[in-house]
Amino acid sequence: MKKSWGRRYASKNLARKTIRRDLFNSTASRLTGKKYFEEINYVFSTCPAKLMSDLEQNIKRINIKLLQLLKNYQLLQKENSRQSELIKQLKETKEKDNQQITALHEKISILKAATGKMNEADKKEFEKNISQYIREIDKCIGILSE
């Protein structure tokens, strides 16, 4: 039984719609090289004006989103550099504070030694520190005498 011209025409249109749908649903990673460009050319040559305008709108929408992503990325990079600088400053402040704490502990031990209010553990720690200082002074004298 032969199909009438109308049915054949309708089946061709259905086939074209199916191909277009499959093309748009497929990912570009599956289409490579010459076949990709052939299918893209087919789509652009057979698509009606409305479909082309839809494609153009989608491309514009994607471009706008891409620009927004780039702006967000640049803002995040700036924020990251600010945060890195803040971390650096805080580390320097922490180091200075630790040095000041160490100096204050030494002053406390010296004041305790001067007032004579030291227990045995504090006296041993103080003598240990004095011995350390004497060794460092001896090293400096040895270096200077050479």
pLDDT per residue as tens digits for the range 34-48 = 666 666 666 666 666
Are 11 and 3 within 8 A, CB to CB? yes
The residue type of 89 is Q
Give the model confidence (pLDDT) of 91-139 as tens digits. Answer: 999 999 999 999 998 888 888 877 877 788 878 888 888 899 899 999 9
Are 126 and 118 within 8 A, CB to CB? yes
What residues does each domain of the chain span?
1-47, 50-97
Are 129 and 109 within 8 A, CB to CB? yes
Are 28 and 36 within 8 A, CB to CB? yes
More confident of the two residues 66 and 1: 66
Among 22-31, 65-74, 121-130, the range of highest mean pLDDT: 65-74
Token code pair at residue 69 = 């992503």
